[in-house]
Amino acid sequence: DGDDDYTTVPGTDLVVTRTVQSDNASYYRINGKKCTFKDVAEFLQEKGIDLDNNRFLILQGEVEMISMMQPKAKTENDEGLLEYLEDIIGSNKYVEDITKVSQRIEELTELRQEKLNRVKAVEKEKGSLEGAKREAEDILRKDREIRRKRNIICQIDKTLAIQKLKDSEKMQETLVEKLSSAREISKESKGSLTKIEKDHKKQTAEHEKLVSELKKTKSDYAAFERKDVKLREDIKHEKSSRKKSEQKIKSEEKTIENLTKKIENFETSVPTLEENLIDLTEKKSTDDAKLEDIYKETQGVTEDLRLELESKKKELLPIQQERTMFQAELDTTLSEIKLLRDPTTRAKKQLAAAEKELSELDGIQAAKRVDQAALEEELETKKHRITQATVEENSLSRKEGELSKKNVEYLARSEDARAILQAGLTRSKAVQGILKASKKGGELSKAGILGRLGDLASISEQYDVAVSTACNMLDFVVVKTTEGAQMCLNFLRKYNLGRANFVPLDKMKKGAHDRVVETPEGASRLYDLISVQDFTLSPVIYLAVGNTLVAPDLGTATRWAYDFDRRWRVVTVDGKLIETSGTMAGGGNSVKKGGMRILNSRENVGSSENSSSDSLEEDCANLEKIAQKAMDDLKLCREKRRSLLDEVRHLKKRVKVLSVSIPKLSMEIVGCDTTRKELTQRIPDLQKESILSPEGTDKLKTLMKKVEKFKSDMSACINMSEALDKEISKVQKSILDAGGPRLKKQKELCQKAASELNKCKKELNAAKVNLKNSKKSKEKTEKSLDFAKRDLDKTKEKIESITQTLTELEGHAMIVMQSYEKAKDSEKEKRNALDSVIKDFERIKKEVTELKGAEVEISGELDEIKKQVKEMKRHINHFDAEMLRLKSEEKSQDEFDISDDEAEENEDVLCDENKGTEEPEDILARYSRDELESEISILEKERYALEKDANMGAIAEYRRKEKDYLLRVSELDVATEERQQAKKEHEELRRLRLEKFMTGFSVITLKLKEMYQMITLGGDAELELVDSLDPFSEGIVFSVRPPKKSWKNIANLSGGEKTLSSLALVFALHHFKPTPLYVMDEIDAALDFKNVSIVAHYIKERTKNAQFIIISLRNNMFELADRLVGIYKTNNCTKSITINPRSFGSGKNSSTPLKDKSNNE
């Protein structure tokens, strides 16, 4: 204690002083050495003291300031809780860099926008040249397309010539080979005929020899099969015997095991029972002695009764002993009788079972033979039925195919008739009347009416909607002459049928429909898609549809209608129509269809030419009846075929079962004979075993006599003992009545002991008798077990012998079977060879005749082919020269090359680049020579029209602008990349700031909880992020839950609670970033006695790792201090004194200061 209660670590003394003079000048000293404030600051920072933020200095104002802090500073000069924590954690070092990078991003964004504006300006200038450039390119493209198509024409011609050349050369080679081959074959065939005749005789002899050998091997194999069946039945019987022996052995072993356990139990229980008998005898003697004592006490009263009781007991004792002896002898004799009778009883049971089985065996065997015959008959029947059903099923299968075709045909015809009928019903009344009157014998039969226009032509089904929409004349009636049309009009007026339109053929212009029409992009005309019954009707069809085009969709239709030199009338396949005037029609939920007959209808059912609705209705009904009948026939056929297939499947399953069951029954029938033989041999033995031997019979009679004698003696003993027991009970009752309750109780104990003793004696006698009987039974069972084992060994030897014989038999049978299969294969091969020889002879003879005529024809064809080869080579050379000329023209236009603007099409379709992906013939197959010639003519006209106003220099100017545009775009890309890099740097700095802040924040939050719980003894505190996604946007909230209160913001607490909360945060911050020195100024001013003590003890604990200088006026704070420093003033000068407070508690002189030093050195 005192000045010596601590140890100074060498080299750790540090004295920092400041001297202030009266003129306000000051200077510093470190360990007595004079220095500047900067030197002091650097020295203290090296020691870990934070002079930048003065975190070592904790003032009462700082504690109060924490409780009043906002979550985040509102201006740059303010400080909120977020800035306060960032300053301590150190994440604010990234703020300045983040601000600089943000400013840089703004600058780069402005620079990029400037570059973007320049790109747009250059792009606008480039776009202004697009039109002129496109016109110039169109001219070049037309020239190139013309050359390309001419080149393709040359290639097509050359390809055709090459193909013809190859075909001719190939044909030439083929004919040469064919001629030489025919001559060689003719020569060989003549020699082969003689050779084949000799070979035929030889093959026939060998075949007959193989057939005889095949029959012999088949017979041998059948004999082996019969032997195999017999041996297998023998094995089955022996295995059954083995199984019975094994079961008997198992049963005898189990019996021996049980008897052994019984013997062990009896041998164990006899000594135990003997010991119990001794104990019970002693107990009875004791109880009798006690009873005797009681009797002595009551001797005067019960003496006569006791003497009478003893007399009766003495009289009863020899009777009981005799009875016990007789009972033991009786039990022993009965056990011997049972052991003597057991073998005969068992043999009688086996004899009865064997006799019963033998009596039933004939019936079972006869039943199995009947079953076998029935199964064999059923097998033959099933096989025959399978053959018949298969034939019937094949017939029905062919019939089903025919009926299916007819059904489809009749249904189609019915549908066509119904469609035509429906179309006819929609016609006007006038048209129907005219068509009906035009029939033979009708009023207009001589008017020359051909029919309704829509019924006189046909079109593919996919264009049905298009033609019904685009053609308004389909309901017009076509007549041959104008006079016929006039007759029809008079007919309508006569019967008031309404209006109708007529087309007279004699007034149609000729030739308009035959003209070649160039359509946009090679589009198909509706006229070209229509087929007519009569060529003379073509002008009428052309009048109805004109040059209307058919487009797959509305977009294509719009392009064809408006984007070419002339307006076209276009209809789409789904019924949208564009007129030459520019109007469009379409839409709605339904479309027109059925106006014209469908091309390639299955039959012209009820041809609409001059047909009426009545006949169509009748035809339609008849066709529907026929179609329904065909459907019914088809269903019936399918049902029959399905039932036949099911029947065949079930028959095959049954045949398979029968094939297994019949051999099995055969073996069972043979097994019955074997079983009968065994039973016949075994019954005499069992009969002998079921009868006792004379010695056994005599012994049994003797034992039975003993039993009767023992029973008679036992009965006499029982009668005598029962009479004495009654007399004894009567005397005992009298004694008990005289002796009182005590005597009765003791008497009951004696009786109980006597009862237990008798019971133990009986158990002991029974155990001895059972032990003796069990040993005898065990000996007999062991003998029976040995006999069963010998039978089992014999049975196993028989099985092994038969198995070995069967194995040898199978080996021989396998050899015979292999010989049979080999002979069968050889016979088949030889038969095939014989058939082949005959066929070869006929074939060669025919070939010799044919080859003679073929030689003359081949020689003439060779001469013709040689001429064709020469002509084709000349054509190929011409086409090569033409293509070379077109390529040289292409090279002369290099200065106008447009390959930079779009992908250039290959000039030569057969160039090397295409050879890897597609064959030249496949490429050229897409082109038509006539179409190419027509397209070249059109392209030349279009090129001539474009050349008038074209500016060929626009291409070069456009490329210069495009180069400038690409340069500006590259500058824009560079600016964009710089901005992206700045953004990445900005995001990285934000990430580092967030990671560093959150790491420190987590540590401070956890320590804050711990500190607050320690200071408040059970409260809780939490630093919460207002925005958890962006901690720096809204700041931090300091929430506190004082003990036994709810959560509150620190601003809503009392003064003491604020101080405790702020101190907990201050201590948590200093735990996160500790310093070796702390100075605290009245931090306990607002705390009560309890909380001051808690804070004081916590600071005392922290003095292990740091030094604390505390300014405090609270006793329970400074009484825990290691040193107390007092400041006082004398003679207008400040002085200090330091004391050790523990020296006062130890009784030393407390008035002696440790140190007294003036501050005005």
CA angle 640, 643, 648 (to 5 degrees): 125
Average pLDDT over residues 305-329: 76
Q: Return d(Cα 1054, Cα 1060) in angstroms, integer.
A: 10
Q: Return d(Cα 265, Cα 1039) in angstroms, integer.
A: 85
* % of the chain with per-residue pLDDT over 90: 1
Q: What are 1067-1093's pLDDT values in tens digits?
A: 888 888 887 888 888 888 878 888 888
As given in the structure block, the two tokens for residue 630 are: 């065909």
Name the residue with tokens 């045909």.
Answer: 409
CA neighbours within 13 Å on the CB side: how many for 762? 9
pLDDT of the residue at 1006: 92
Kind of pairing, strands 502-504 and 477-479? parallel
pLDDT of the residue at 420: 58
pLDDT of the residue at 335: 75
- With bands split at pLDDT 50, 70 and 90, how would you rate the model's confidence at 1159? very low
Asked if residues 448 and 481 have their Cβ atoms less than 8 Å apart, the reply is yes
Average pLDDT over residues 3-29: 76
Q: Return d(Cα 80, Cα 58) in angstroms, integer.
A: 18
Q: What are 710-746's pLDDT values in tens digits?
A: 788 878 888 887 787 787 777 767 766 665 676 677 7
pLDDT of the residue at 907: 42
Q: Tally Cβ neighbours within 10 Å of residue 619.
A: 18
Asked if residues 746 and 287 have their Cβ atoms less than 8 Å apart, the reply is yes
Q: What are 209-220's pLDDT values in tens digits?
A: 777 777 777 677
- List of E strands, 159-228: none
Q: What are 329-352's pLDDT values in tens digits?
A: 777 777 777 777 777 887 788 888
Average pLDDT over residues 1022-1031: 85
- With bands split at pLDDT 50, 70 and 90, how would you rate the model's confidence at 602? very low
- With bands split at pLDDT 50, 70 and 90, how would you rate the model's confidence at 167? confident
CA angle 316, 322, 326 (to 5 degrees): 140
Does the CA dihedral 370-372-378-380 come out positive or negative? negative
pLDDT of the residue at 616: 57
Average pLDDT over residues 1106-1128: 85
| Helices 429-437, 482-495: inter-axial angle, 10-degree rounding | 120
Give me the helices (H) in 898-953, please: 912-915, 920-924, 929-946
Kind of pairing, strands 524-525 and 549-551? antiparallel
995-1000 LR contacts (CB < 8 Å, sep 24+):
996/89, 996/90, 996/91, 996/94, 997/85, 997/86, 997/89, 997/91, 997/1031, 997/1032, 998/1031, 999/89, 1000/85, 1000/88, 1000/89, 1000/90, 1000/91, 1000/1072
Name the residue with tokens 């082949």.
Answer: 836
Q: What are 838-877's pLDDT values in tens digits?
A: 667 666 666 666 666 666 667 667 777 777 777 777 778 8
Host H or E run for residue 1023: strand 1020-1025
Q: Return d(Cα 850, Cα 698) in angstroms, integer.
A: 114
Q: Return d(Cα 830, Cα 200) in angstroms, integer.
A: 11
Residue with the larger pLDDT of the pair 984 and 611: 984
Average pLDDT over residues 239-256: 78
**What value does the mean pLDDT of the chain take?**
77
Q: What are 952-1001's pLDDT values in tens digits?
A: 677 777 888 888 888 888 988 998 999 899 999 989 988 998 898 899 88
Q: What is the 3-state secondary structure (H, E, C) of 561-592?
A: HHCCCCCCCEEECCCCEECCCCCEECCCCCCC
Q: What are 995-1013's pLDDT values in tens digits?
A: 988 998 899 899 889 888 8
Task: Look up residue 796 and give its DSSP letter.
Answer: H
Q: What is the 3-state secondary structure (H, E, C) of 9-23?
A: CCCCCCCEEEEECCC
Name the residue with tokens 């006209």.
Answer: 941
Residue with the larger pLDDT of the pair 122 and 588: 122
Q: What are 412-462's pLDDT values in tens digits?
A: 666 666 665 555 554 567 787 888 888 877 888 888 888 888 888 888 878
Residue type, 845: K
Residue type, 748: E
pTM: 0.36
Q: What are 577-594's pLDDT values in tens digits?
A: 888 877 788 766 667 777
